[in-house]
């Protein structure tokens, strides 16, 4: 994605502009709050207090953030290769199937530290498989990855419903979900870390998947900016023509990027399934894959930004739950609106304020803005 705009100092590019976009998104969200007849400032205070005020709140915030780190990384890896993976939702759903198969067969025999690595592999493999098919169709048959991944979300949903009301459901049960996993499938909690700081936690699902998510964020950074494969992926993302000229195999890059993306999406399922619910139920992903799009865009596709954005969204989820309790006219759907606004202003309209900021910078010191870049496609 070449920028047809003049250069700005790095801190303005990576700090100021995202901050302005984010603020606009929240101002518009505030207007929605006014529209339903509540005070947006009081709502913001309740939201932040609900997320960070108590130990339990912090633990829940980080639990949600864990999920979003995985999906955000998933979207970002594909995006570095200029592939828009909307299929994170479906890949995570199918990743849950991998976990279910491992846990259902081994949960009473293996301890968690043996079962967890197996589940990681299974979830990643199933997610990668669900990313592989659209990638193959894009690379070999030229079908558009956005459309195929959307279709695969629906196919994943139908497949999982079929399995959960049939094969995976225990006999005699009515609920469309697997039996509850026991023993080894329950991951250790991390709440004691927060309790070290003196906060009290009643019960919160924060678990070691959070650490796994941070490790993955580091590995993604390593992959994208410190390996040959990552360099090839970014090259392909910037210019498929240049990549082809450099002898990079298009098929191999698209397939690898989408499989890594799918694997990260699949691993997201570990957090709710083994860390919290201890079963696989219908629609357990519940939109986290789509939140990943907002998180990746807001984090500007960089793992550090993604972790921060994921924590922000974790805060919105946890604080939003408290908010809907305090202000009944603000339901949890407020988060969906904010999510949409963030995608709109940080994603689609990311360059809206750039010319103005450039003008301001130029009026202070023309040198800091640099020469006008040549206009190219793909603004």
User: Does 161 help bind other proteins (rule: CB under 8 A)?
Assistant: yes
- The whole-angstrom separation of Cα 278 and Cα 44 is 33
- The whole-angstrom separation of Cα 76 and Cα 49 is 30
Candidates 48, 101, 129, 137; binder of other proteins (CB under 8 A) is 137
User: Does 297 help bind other proteins (rule: CB under 8 A)?
Assistant: yes
Site string for other proteins, 227-266 (x = CB under 8 A): ----------------------------------------
| 12 secondary structure, DSSP code | I
Q: How far is the CB of 374 from other proteins (least distance, A)?
A: 9
Candidates 333, 356, 372, 373; binder of other proteins (CB under 8 A) is 333
Backbone angles phi, psi at 302, to 5 degrees: -105, 135
User: Does 44 help bind other proteins (rule: CB under 8 A)?
Assistant: no
Q: Which stretch binds other proteins (CB under 8 A): 93-101, 117-125, 221-229, 369-377?
A: 369-377
Residue 266: closest CA among 53, 101, 379, 138 = 101
User: Does 27 help bind other proteins (rule: CB under 8 A)?
Assistant: no
Candidates 263, 264, 315, 335; binder of other proteins (CB under 8 A) is 335
Q: Which stretch binds other proteins (CB under 8 A): 62-70, 155-163, 169-177, 188-196?
A: 155-163
- The whole-angstrom separation of Cα 272 and Cα 260 is 20
DSSP string, 261-278: HHHHHHHHTHHHIIIIIS
User: Does 167 help bind other proteins (rule: CB under 8 A)?
Assistant: no
Candidates 30, 40, 183, 340; binder of other proteins (CB under 8 A) is 340
Whether the Cβ atoms of residue 310 and residue 295 lie closer than 8 Å to each other: yes
Which residues lie closer than 8 Å to 184 by C-beta, 6 or more apart? 103, 106, 107, 108, 109, 110, 111, 112, 114, 115
Residue 99: closest CA among 125, 76, 119 = 119
Backbone angles phi, psi at 374, to 5 degrees: -75, 135
Residue 332: closest CA among 348, 360, 313 = 313
User: Does 336 help bind other proteins (rule: CB under 8 A)?
Assistant: yes
User: Does 2 help bind other proteins (rule: CB under 8 A)?
Assistant: no
Q: How far is the CB of 336 from other proteins (least distance, A)?
A: 3
Name which of 37 and 111 has its Cβ closer to other proteins.
Answer: 37
Whether the Cβ atoms of residue 290 and residue 89 lie closer than 8 Å to each other: yes
Residues lying near other proteins in the complex (CB under 8 A) are found at 4, 32, 35-37, 84, 86, 137, 141-144, 146-148, 150-152, 154-155, 158-159, 161-162, 166, 290, 293-294, 297, 329-331, 333-341, 343-344, 347-352, 375-379
């Amino acid at each position: 994605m070449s920028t047809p705009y003049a250069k700005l100092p790095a801190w303005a590019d990576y700090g100021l502009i995202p901050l302005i976009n984010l603020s606009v998104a929240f101002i518009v969200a505030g207007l929605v709050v006014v529209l339903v007849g509540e005070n947006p400032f009081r709502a913001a205070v309740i939201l932040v207090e609900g997320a960070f005020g108590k130990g339990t709140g912090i633990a829940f915030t980080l639990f949600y953030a864990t999920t979003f780190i995985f999906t955000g990384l998933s979207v970002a890896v594909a995006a570095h290769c200029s592939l828009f993976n909307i299929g994170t939702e479906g890949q995570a759903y199918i990743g849950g199937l991998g976990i279910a198969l491992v846990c259902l067969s081994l949960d009473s025999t293996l301890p968690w530290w043996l079962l967890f690595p197996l589940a990681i592999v299974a979830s990643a493999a199933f997610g990668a498989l669900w990313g592989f098919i659209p990638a193959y169709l894009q690379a070999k048959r030229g079908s558009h990855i956005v459309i195929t991944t959307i279709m695969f979300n629906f196919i994943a949903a139908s497949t999982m419903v079929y399995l959960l009301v049939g094969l995976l459901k225990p006999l005699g049960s009515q609920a469309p979900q697997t039996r509850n996993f026991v023993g080894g499938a329950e991951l250790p909690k991390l709440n004691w870390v927060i309790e070290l700081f003196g906060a009290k936690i009643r019960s919160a699902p924060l678990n070691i998947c959070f650490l796994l998510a941070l490790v993955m964020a580091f590995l993604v950074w390593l992959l994208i900016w410190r390996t040959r494969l990552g360099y090839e992926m970014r090259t392909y993302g910037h210019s498929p023509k240049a990549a082809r000229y450099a002898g990079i195999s298009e098929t191999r890059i698209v397939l690898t990027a989408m499989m890594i993306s799918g694997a990260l999406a699949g691993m997201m399922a570990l957090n709710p399934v083994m860390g919290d619910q201890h079963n696989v139920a219908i629609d357990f992903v519940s939109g986290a894959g789509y939140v990943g799009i907002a998180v990746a865009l807001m984090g500007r596709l960089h793992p550090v930004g993604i972790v921060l954005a994921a924590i922000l969204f974790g805060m919105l989820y946890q604080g939003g739950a408290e908010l809907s309790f305090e202000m009944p006219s603000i339901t949890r759907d407020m988060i969906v609106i904010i999510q949409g606004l963030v995608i709109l202003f940080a994603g689609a309209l990311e360059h809206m304020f750039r010319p103005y900021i450039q003008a301001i910078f130029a009026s202070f010191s023309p040198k800091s803005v640099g020469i006008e870049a040549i206009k190219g496609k793909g603004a």
